[in-house]
A and B are shown apart, each in its own frame.
Chain A
Amino acid sequence: MKEKRMGANRKRTIRRILLACLLVLLAAGLSSCGSGREKGRVYWLNYKPEIDPTLQKLAREYREKTGTEVRVITAASGTYAQTLIAEMDKSAPPTLFVLSNASDVQTWQKYAMDLRDTPIAGELSTDAYNLYDDAGRLAAVGYCYECYGIIVNPALVEAAGHSMEEIRNFDGLKAVAEDIHRRTGELGFDAFTSSDMDGSSSWRFTGHLVNLEYVYEEREAGKIWTECPPAITGAYLDYYRNLFDLCINNSLVAPNTLATGGHDAREEFVSGKAAFFINGSWEYDTISKAIPGAMMIPYYCGMAGEENAGLNCGTSNYWAVNASVSEADRQATMDFMMWLVTDPEASAEMVREVGVMPFRQAAPSENGFLKNAEEYTARGCYVMDWATNFQPNTDQYRAGLVSALNRYCAEQTDENWEAFRSAFVDGWANQYAATRP
């Protein structure tokens, strides 16, 4: 009898504990469905690791100011595509994500909200950096634009007894670079920084420098690409070779040591070890602190009339708002975007990191390299658009280029160059076919 009563007591206690647990869970569930949800959340999947600290700071400021939940997650370098796929499949996917080019829009158009007639579209100062999908919806807006070319330390050029005036085309660049390289022992610095072919650096040559070839193909055809062409000719590849050879053969490191990398080109440039550095406007903040006079010149490669060439200007940074999240989340995201491009302090911080932001109220850019780009344009030089954005199946295509360039850097024969040409031209057609349904 006594045992039975004890058993009943124990059962009652267990039941009470379970009931208490249930109530706590219910309360927690209800509170999470409450006011926080209605307000909407912002989750920006960022693809530029170098701007992450600034974005985190801005997200914190916005959260403190408005109480909106803002999360910025940055994909590790070179893994954005993988991270985007994984994150978009989650129950709380990114509300704001970045697309890089037209083929990204092709892939993600179903998930990108139409931004026409939204306040953020109304803030845009130009339509030049917008991407539309097949149905003509505004799938993504360019939030910054950048430029790339050859970054020069004029002080070193002058220290070698030359002047920037001599560098007006490839012949001028070649004469100066080869002279510096020849006298490197005497001068204490070299012409070009290292041109590593590992993942942290190869994009400068397989993503950016190759742009000159694509642009001259476009110019020959008389129109700018608006979608990925099924094939390219590689007709201007010899000009790429001119500049590439100059980079690797007049540099701090031997060409046959570039494959596995391990050098730090930026460090070589800012510490004054080399006069020329292939890179873009996003480096300005770091470089200008060490070398205030640094400037950017076009990819001089031996093309006729290149004295009128400008810098490579464009963007691979487009904001897309996730169409599959709640209305409240989309609204919160667009409010956050508006704050980033209209608030004087926030937009100043953004502009410092990303270059020019094409929005009416955004802070003006102090970026010297982008000013160089404007100067070239003002002088009537042609802008090299970012045709490279159309590379098909980008990562795989570039991996093929890297492998072929590794062989060429180890042994600079015509045969190895032809293998590179095949990776460049046939690889394009092959990757184009591989990504079509």
Chain B
Amino acid sequence: MKPTILTKPMRKWAWLFLGPMLVCFGIGFVWPFLHGTYLSFCRFLLVRDAEWIGGGNYAAAFSDPSFRSAFGFTAVFAVVSVILINIPAFAAALALNRKFRGRNLYRAVFFMPNLIGGIVLGHLWSMIFDGILAGFGTSILLDAKLGFWGMIIVLLWQQVGYMMIIYIAGLQAIPADMMEAAEIDGASGSQKLFRIIIPNMMPAITICLFLTLTNGFKLFDQNLALTAGQPFIQQADGTTVRTTEMLALNIYNTFYSQGPSNRGIAQAKAVIFFVTVAGISLIQLVATRRKEVQQ
């Protein structure tokens, strides 16, 4: 069969099949992104009345101490959450990949928290933390450290199960003959883990690291519901530092501050935020992709 018999109609109809997706992508991502970038150079109350002012919003965003503080807090949060989500998720995947009774039930139970929305989770855990911390005469809203670890716990609870499912899929894709050969060759448990399982699971690791890193950076719902940035520290110069405010919440709070100048600044912050998260995750994708092996 000549290849043209297949490629000709494919070429002819490709746009029909690609079209709807491209339209959706254009409406849902490309246009808002371009418009958002344009707005970051504008001053506006309503989007339709935006007025071009140049790069002033970026200067204001960079000189805002609350933005810098949120940036630092978010970066630390993202790194800690990546480590603390992926290690337990990987361990749980290894454990639940063995054959035993009730294995599927365990998998389902681990996965379930992921089905609950972030705001609901935040409020539920707020009550749990409150119940515990009240006994010690404190609250998650009174100490930035408690706020930080509180959000980490909620995120772990929500995401470990999800990453575990991805790792299980990765584990099951490892060819059985490879493992068998290793066993026959007398490889120890750690040798199997580091020489066979992990190298073969790099695609799953790439995905999980990407998801947890970006989720850590983008966290909003749980932040809003659990601490809303509290506790605040009033500084000597009159400015306020919201000690547990993450980037997305900082952008949100800026956008909905009164006065039209703040919306453009928030928009500029959002563009900086996007570039940072996209840049970091691309570096991570390239770095881990290189380690992926051909099976």
Residues of chain A whose beta carbon lies under 8 Å from any beta carbon of chain B = 81-82, 85, 88-89, 103-104, 107-108, 110-111, 256-257, 259-260, 262, 392-396, 399-400, 402-404, 406-407, 410, 419, 422-423, 426-427, 429-430, 434-437
Contacts and interface: CB of A to CB of B under 8 A. Distances in A.
A291 B45 CA distance: 46
B47 to A, nearest CB: 5
B51 to A, nearest CB: 12
A422 B234 contact: yes
B8 interface: no
B284 to A, nearest CB: 33
A90 B138 CA distance: 45
A392 B46 contact: no
A396 B249 CA distance: 12
B57 to A, nearest CB: 12
B258 A103 contact: yes
Contact of A436 (B46, B130, B138, B259): B259
B240 A423 contact: yes
Given A260-B127, A403-B232, A427-B240, A85 B259 contact: no
Report the contact-size class of chain B (Cβ under 8 Å from the partner): 20 to 34
Contacts of B46: 85, 88-89, 111
Contacts of A434: 257, 259, 262
A403 B258 contact: no
A107 B259 contact: yes
The binding surface of chain A is classed by DSSP as: helix
A403 B141 contact: yes
B138 A410 contact: yes
Contact of B230 (A104, A111, A392, A406): A406
Given A107-B45, A430-B238, A407 B257 contact: no
A153 B230 CA distance: 35
A260 B234 CA distance: 21
Given A403-B231, A423-B240, 14 more contacts: A81-B258, A89-B46, A89-B48, A260-B130, A396-B253, A396-B257, A399-B229, A399-B232, A406-B231, A410-B142, A427-B234, A435-B259, A436-B261, A437-B259
Interface in B227-260: 228-232, 234, 238-240, 242, 253, 256-260
B134 interface: yes
A394 B258 CA distance: 8
5 contacts: A89-B46, A107-B260, A403-B232, A426-B234, A435-B262
Contacts of A81: 256, 258
A437 B142 contact: no
Contacts of A403: 141, 229-232, 242
B69 interface: no
A84 B227 CA distance: 25
A403 to B, nearest CB: 4
A404 B235 CA distance: 12
Give me the 7 closest cross-chain CB pairs, A-B, nearest first. Answer: A435-B259, A403-B232, A426-B238, A422-B234, A259-B139, A430-B238, A260-B130
Nearest to A197: B141
Contacts, number: 101
Contacts of B259: 107, 393, 434-437
Nearest to A199: B228
Given A430-B238, A430-B240, A406 B258 contact: no
Residue from the set B45, B229, B257 with the largest chain A CB neighbour count within 10 Å: B257
B141 A437 contact: no
A234 B163 CA distance: 52
A260 B258 contact: no
Contacts of B142: 259, 406-407, 410
B140 interface: yes
B139 A395 contact: no
A267 B130 CA distance: 22
A393 B258 contact: yes
Contact of B141 (A85, A111, A262, A406): A406
B139 A406 contact: yes
Contacts of B230: 399, 402-403, 406
Given A396-B253, A423-B240, A85 B134 contact: no
Contacts of B256: 81-82, 85, 395
B9 interface: no
B141 A259 contact: yes
A437 B51 CA distance: 14
A262 B253 contact: no
Contacts of B49: 110
Nearest to B127: A262
Contacts of B130: 257, 259-260, 262
A85 B47 CA distance: 9
Given A89-B48, A422-B234, A392 B258 contact: yes
Contacts of A406: 139, 141-142, 230-231
B137 interface: yes
Interface string B253-292: 1001111111000000000000000000000000000000
A259 B127 CA distance: 11
Interface in B141-180: 141-142
A5 B34 CA distance: 49
Given A259-B142, A262-B130, A406-B142, A400 B258 contact: no
B74 interface: no
Residue from the set A85, A257, A434 with the largest chain B CB neighbour count within 10 Å: A434
A2 B47 CA distance: 58
